Amino acid sequence: MFSEIMFSNQAFSEALKKYDIVISVPVSKKRKKERGYNQSELIAQDICRKLDKKYAKNILIKTKNTVAQSTLNKEQRQENAKGVYSLKNENKIKNKKVLLIDDIYTTGSTVNECARVLKQANLKEIGIFTIAKD
């Protein structure tokens, strides 16, 4: 049910076609207000625009403000990510193949927690795409 995708631009275009919906890892309202944007959302929207795919907003939401993952070690990151995401409008992704986009993969704590929550919607498949690996 969980697939990690690593490929070139042309292969990415082909692999993306199998997903019904693209979503991004959310940030808290506070963090988005501070930054003015959610970088994962911008990446996901751009990919969707270029490949004519549907971007789904407000499916996965961050319900708690947390310390920035970049300031924590592996164990702290896992704890920090637990229980901070929830589903909204889960009917939009039920029985769908969903691609989750995040900006950086370090320990996998964030995307693993997001995937755990997304699985509650009885998805066909969850793919993970990140721009960088730390």
What is the residue-wise DSSP string for 50-95? HHT--B--SSEEE-S----GGGS-HHHHHHHHTT-EEESSGGGTTT
Q: In the predicted model, what is the mean pLDDT of residues 2-16?
A: 62
Q: Is the pLDDT of residue 80 over 60?
A: yes
What mean pLDDT is reported for the chain?
A: 87
Q: Is the pLDDT of residue 6 over 60?
A: no
**Domain topology for 2-133:** Rossmann fold (3.40.50)
Instruction: Report residue 12 as tokens.
Output: 């990415």
Start-to-end CA span in the chain (Å): 25
Higher pLDDT, 88 or 68: 88
What pLDDT was estimated at residue 19?
Answer: 92
Domain boundaries, the chain: 2-133
| pTM metric for this prediction | 0.86
